[in-house]
Structure 1
Amino acid sequence: METNAEQLRTLAAVVDHGTFERAAAALHITPSAVSQRIKALEEQSGRVLVRRSKPIEPTEAGAVLVRLARQVALLEAEAVAELAGSDQDTTAAIPLVVNADSLATWVLPALAALPGLSFDVVLDDQEHTLDRLRDGTAMAAISSDPEPVQGCVVSPLGAMTYRPTASPAFVDRWCPRGWTPDTAAAAPMLVFDRKDTLQDRYLARFAPGAHPPRHHIPASTEFVRAAELGLGWAMLPDLQADEPVAEGRLVVLDPDGALDVPLYWQQWSLRSAVLGRVAAEIDAAAARTLRRPPAS
């Protein structure tokens, strides 16, 4: 098949904006022109590329071409900047998928160390970020999966350590005589969202079969705040909990109950100077903050 950059750019705009009309406005063309470009690209590929849903979503074949569109756009922008002899990056926003705890603790300083770049950061659980790489909506992701997505490369970053933590008031109310499996089965629990399995993983080991009441708190900073207020217990990362524990606002319920969540950097397998800079800063920030195994 033969494609051109204009058609690929249009496909990416349709997926990004969710409708032909919004894509047309972003590209400064008519919706009819958008439709014609998508139709031509589908005819050339012999595949249906988008589902006409609300919002529009790429098919499996469409995701392949969306990823190609973003790769072409990135390399074009780098080439333009190099030809112009510019010291400033001229790339479009780089889409990244980051888990909320990493964004709230160690990732932002890495992004701030990259002046001239702009980022489109999407939050997702570390166990579910790879779907964004597969469908072409992200160039890179922080994931807990060491297996590279097709067309991507992966490198280890380190691990975030989580511990069962609660407020002193919670302890006084629910476990004044100690944290036991029976208490864990009855005491209210915090979970980030319905993808968050950390608390259940801990319970499977500490109190098998326990199904305590739970509160969903889908924001990282507010999640810690909910634990401080005694709303429930939660698996909190040391990077967020160390200070409130030292100040007495939180206590660790089970010193032996730590869970390590390994994190990996996955990015397109593409010779891109921009992605290389981003990967280097992310790795440096991870080296400063995450637990890394000793060198063998």
Structure 2
Amino acid sequence: TPAGQRLLNHVQQVQLLERDLTKSIPALSEPTARLRIALNADSLATWWAAAVGNFCAEETLLLDLVVEDQDIGLRRMREGDVAACLCSSPQPVAGARCVPIGTMTYMPLATPDYVRRYFGKGLSETSLKNAPAIVFGPNDQLQHRFLAQCGYHGTFPHHLCPSSEGFVKLALAGMGYGMIPEMQARPEISAGRLVSIAPEQTLEVQLYWHFWRHGGGVMDRLTNALRSAATLNSNV
């Protein structure tokens, strides 16, 4: 139930605080901590694992990941469903901290054949209105932001595909064009299998890490690990 989920989230945060206590009182046995986090699928499919892998092993920390679109993941925090959230909103929740992590670069990509078929004469209101797009889900606004950058605010045909890996496969199959993270698409771009329908345009999405202030030292160290990953990788 929703009430039970909030209680579980509270218990997990208490366990994080207990871990800090065991470091100063060795006689206490250290509990295994589980941390429930909401994050966007594109981060999970690209840089997230490399950023937290060693940290979770060293801390014996278990993650319960909730995949949400970056524009609505913060709702989980407000509802008390998760202890932390990685999303595109800079607006902090009462009682939580918010730190910028880095920027993800998205490109409007499709196969060369697709681009010739729908955008052979360049981008126009007619081509953008008729060219099938690929959208992650009903709450995904990346496509709308890109079209707004192009000066188009109307409707457009689109597939819905709530999978980052499946998203790329649909684009490779020539089913549409979509906003794909540049770091995820590098191999396909290098091989010429995907090209941009608007080479001069990208979409920059700033990511923010939200976490409850009473998460203890484990949460602080996880935050530092994420910020270090962003420093090492310019695409995060």
| TM-score of the superposed pair, with normalisation by structure 1 | 0.72
The answer (yes or no) to whether the contact 2:18–2:31 under 8 Å persists in 1 is: no
1:138 Cα offset (Å): 1.3
Counterpart amino acid of residue 74 in structure 1 = L
Q: Percent identity?
A: 35
- Distance between the aligned counterparts of 1:139 and 1:246, measured in 2? 39
Structure 2 stretches of 5 or more lacking a match? none
Whole-Å Cα distance in 2 between the matches of residues 232 and 178 of structure 1? 16
Deviation sequence 1:83-121 (CA, Å, 0-9, x none):
2368x9633211111100011111111221121111111
| Aligned position for 2:34 | 93
Q: Do 2:12 and 2:34's aligned partners in 1 also have CA atoms closer than 8 Å?
A: no
From 188, 195, 204, the counterpart of 1:260: 204
Cα contact 2:144–2:153 (8 A) shared by 1: no
Rg larger in 1 or in 2?
1
d(CA) in 2 for partners of 1:133, 1:255: 37
* 8 Å Cα contact 2:170-2:176 kept in structure 1: yes
Alignment of 1:1-296 (within 5 A): 56-58=1-3, 63=6, 68-80=10-22, 82-84=24-26, 90-114=31-55, 115=57, 116-270=60-214, 272-291=216-235
CA contact (8 A) 2:9 2:36 kept: no
Contact 2:171 2:177 in 1 (8 A): yes
Which stretches in structure 1 are left out of the alignment for 5+ residues? 1-55
Work out which structure has the larger RCO, using CA pairs closer than 8 Å and 6 or more positions apart in sequence. 2
Number of aligned residue pairs: give it.
233
The one-letter code of the counterpart of 1:285 is: A
2-structure distance, mates of 1:176, 1:100: 32
Give 3-state SS (helix, strand or coil) of 2:93's partner.
coil
TM-score, structure 2 as length reference: 0.89
C-alpha root-mean-square deviation of aligned residues, in Å?
Answer: 2.3
Shift of residue 179, structure 1, vs aligned partner: 3.1
Q: CA–CA distance in 1 between the matches of 2:205 and 2:116?
A: 29
**CA distance change for structure 1 residues 233 and 79 in 2, over 3 Å: closer, same or farther?**
same
Does the residue aligned with 2:214 lie in a helix, a strand or coil?
coil
Q: Is the strand fraction higher in 1 or 2?
A: 2
149-158 or 75-84, which deviates more: 75-84
* Partner Cα distance (1:82, 1:252) in 2: 55
Q: Give CA-to-partner distance per residue, 1:238-262, whole Å, 9 cap, x none.
A: 1112221111010011123211111
Match of 1:50 in 2: none
